[in-house]
Amino acid sequence: MAFKQFGSKRDFAPREMVKGDWKCSECGTPITELPFQPAPDRPIYCRECWQKKRRERFSR
Ligand SMILES: [Zn+2]
């Protein structure tokens, strides 16, 4: 019975790939898929830059 609450209206379902046409704000690599819906007013990073950013955050 608890299953009904999962994944019906929320578009934050895990592993749902969003297709589109973006560019990495850092290195300019074309991005065609994202694991989330990107906000239009936020920078988008490719995997490599994303991981770099994460690392930078963690090291401080
Ligand atoms: Zn990049």
- 3-state SS of 13-47? CCCCCEEEEEECCCCCCEEEEECCCCCCCCCCCCH
Q: Which residues contact 53 (CB under 8 A, 6 or more apart)?
A: 45
Residue 2 lies in a domain: no
Q: What pLDDT does residue 8 have? A: 55
CA of 29 to the centre of ligand 1 (A): 6
β-partners of residue 22 are 31
CA of 42 to the centre of ligand 1 (A): 14
CA of 38 to the centre of ligand 1 (A): 15
More confident residue, 17 or 29: 29
Residue 10 lies in a domain: no
Q: What pLDDT does residue 14 have? A: 59
More confident residue, 6 or 33: 33
Residue 5 lies in a domain: no
How crowded is the C-beta side of 10, counted as CA atoms within 13 Å? 8
Q: Which residues contact 51 (CB under 8 A, 6 or more apart)?
A: none
CA of 22 to the centre of ligand 1 (A): 11
Number of structural domains the chain divides into: 1
pLDDT, tens digit, for every residue of 8-25? Answer: 565 555 577 899 999 999
Residue 8 lies in a domain: no
